[in-house]
Amino acid sequence: MVPMHDHPGEWASTDPVRLLAIRDTPLSVDEVLRAVGDDAAGGTALFVGTVRNHDGGQDVSALGYSCHPSAQDELRRVAEKVVAEFPVRALAAVHRVGDLRVGDTAVVVAVSCPHRAEAFEVCRKLIDDLKREVPIWKHQRFSDGTEEWVGAC
């Protein structure tokens, strides 16, 4: 345990990064929420990204995610950067790869922090950095037969 402040209840485990994964199986919001449970946290924020039925004015008929072999390492780098910058009690992030349907869960991130405002800010930073920096690409197919890659270099 590492003391974060003066109160013993504010001690944090040595690694607040509790769960990081890129999976080709369905994601569990409950698993991510359990991973960030912390009795010293006053706020927990959760973001769930789902596959929507449209994008850019077009109907989405199918969608798939793929990733670079370095994606898991980049996910850890992003998580550790967030933890170093903010008072994070616990952090978790999982992203799905493979073929998904409309309504499927694509990504779940959660953080717990000493206070509510921090939790919201950190959760937003985590998902934004994940989407911007982790090499995971979305391949959308539209009902008119066209398709596009999103996030691909």
- pLDDT at 21 > cutoff 90: yes
CA dihedral 124, 88, 105, 140 (to 10 degrees): 50
42 burial type by CB count under 10 A (0-12 exposed, 13-18 middle, 19+ buried): middle
Q: What is the b/e burial string over 123-144, where b = at least 16 CB atoms within 10 angstroms of the residue's CB? A: bebbbebbbeebbbbbbbebee
* Among candidate residues 124, 114, 132, the one with its CA nearest the CA of residue 46: 124
Low-confidence winner among 34-43, 69-78, 112-121, 142-151 (lowest mean pLDDT): 142-151
For 152, the token pair is 């691909």
- Predicted structure pTM score: 0.90
